[in-house]
């Protein structure tokens, strides 16, 4: 299916057309639509999934304004140094193992992939991977093809000595 025929495209296009009505010139709404389409095509090329399926999944998950949702921090470019792609959730979990996740703020190991709240031995760190600090590259983005979903997590300790593939 062509990306412009999928439900996700139609939903996003309707939002863009509403915002791009005459007299509304605060943002480049149509430019954002093109950015989203190019990014979905990029994900399709890197994952082997259909761009229409990727856009459908993104739009199904989007719960806020598309201008804020579609950004590099939420849909980063898939490159060898910043993103890991897995076929299934089980493959991701198997790769991570049980060594925990490295907190980039304190260097401790947390059992929580998103925050230092579970450091063990009574230790707690208030660092979070999401929000502003996640956007600043303090975590690693993982994309699971079977879920058509990605997110940023603390670096798994099991991956610290593994170079990312290009």
Find, among 13, 16, 42, 12, the residue nearest to 27 by Cα.
16
User: What is the DSSP pairing of strand 140-144 with strand 83-86?
Assistant: parallel
The pLDDT mean for the chain works out to 88
Q: Is the pLDDT of residue 61 over 80?
A: yes
* Residue range 101-126: mean pLDDT, rounded: 81
Which pLDDT score is estimated for 135?
47
Structure tokens at 5: 């025929």
Which pLDDT score is estimated for 7?
98
What is the C-alpha to C-alpha distance for residues 122 and 134, in angstroms, rounded to an integer?
Answer: 25
Torsion angle defined by CA atoms of residues 45, 50, 52 and 56, in that order, rounded to the nearest 10 degrees = -100
Q: Is the pLDDT of residue 33 over 70?
A: yes
Q: pLDDT tens-digit profile of 46-57? A: 999 999 999 999
What is the C-alpha to C-alpha distance for residues 62 and 138, in angstroms, rounded to an integer?
Answer: 23
**This prediction's pTM:** 0.86
């Amino acid at each position: 299916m062509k990306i412009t025929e999928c439900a996700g495209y139609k939903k996003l296009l309707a939002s863009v057309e509403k915002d791009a009505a005459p007299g509304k010139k605060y943002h480049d709404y149509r430019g954002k639509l093109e950015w989203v389409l190019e990014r979905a095509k990029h994900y399709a090329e890197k994952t082997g999934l259909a761009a229409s399926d990727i856009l459908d999944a993104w739009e199904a998950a989007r719960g806020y304004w598309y201008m804020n949702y579609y950004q590099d921090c939420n849909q980063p470019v898939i490159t060898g140094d910043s993103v890991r792609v897995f076929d299934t959730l089980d493959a991701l979990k198997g790769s991570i193992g049980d060594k925990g996740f490295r907190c980039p703020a304190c260097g401790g190991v947390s059992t929580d992939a998103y925050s230092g709240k579970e450091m063990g031995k009574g230790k707690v760190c208030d660092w979070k991977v999401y929000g502003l600090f996640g956007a600043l590259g303090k975590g690693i983005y993982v994309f699971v093809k079977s879920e058509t979903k990605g997110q940023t997590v603390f670096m798994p300790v099991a991956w610290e000595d593994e170079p990312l593939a290009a």
